[in-house]
Amino acid sequence: MKLFLAFFVLMTAQAMSLKDFNTKPTHDRSVYVVDFIEKMTGDLGAKNPQLAQDIRAWFSQKQDGKPFSAGLEKLYVELGALESLAQEGKVDLSKIQVEGVIVKVVKDKFPPQSSQK
């Protein structure tokens, strides 16, 4: 958990809001997501190479019969849900960071392990 929190604090220094993210062309959004995942897994790889490899695989390996990996599919579902909430006036996309959504889907899939004393 501490590793995820430390990483999130470092990455949000240059974070992009969902409002800004949504104004980008599709290609630029894809590049941004891939770059963030590469940075995240690169940083995680120093302390937990298996976790970094598992995250990369989850975001990069296409599912049989589907155009996207399971990780990207989950990310798109989360982004779509936030878009719906924004249209209903329940959330402000300028206050939500893309990186935070990515970290959330990663934490949901790969929950932090309890540290043993």
Are 97 and 21 in contact by the 8 Å Cβ rule? The answer is no
pTM confidence score:
0.82
Domain boundaries, the chain: 2-109
From first to last of its 117 residues, what are the pLDDT tens digits of the chain? 455 544 544 444 568 999 999 999 999 999 999 999 999 999 899 899 999 999 999 999 999 999 999 999 999 999 999 999 999 999 999 999 999 999 999 999 999 875 544
- Residue written as tokens 């970094």? 52
DSSP 24: S
Tell me how many degrees the CA angle 76-29-59 measures, rounded to the nearest 5: 50
Distance between CA atoms of 71 and 45, rounded to whole angstroms?
Answer: 18
CA 33 vs CA 4, 40, 87, 116: distances in Å = 17, 10, 23, 33
Are 51 and 38 in contact by the 8 Å Cβ rule? The answer is no
Give me the pLDDT at residue 9, please: 47
Distance between CA atoms of 71 and 105, rounded to whole angstroms?
Answer: 8
Give me the pLDDT at residue 112, please: 85
Residue 22 is encoded by which pair of tokens?
């949504």
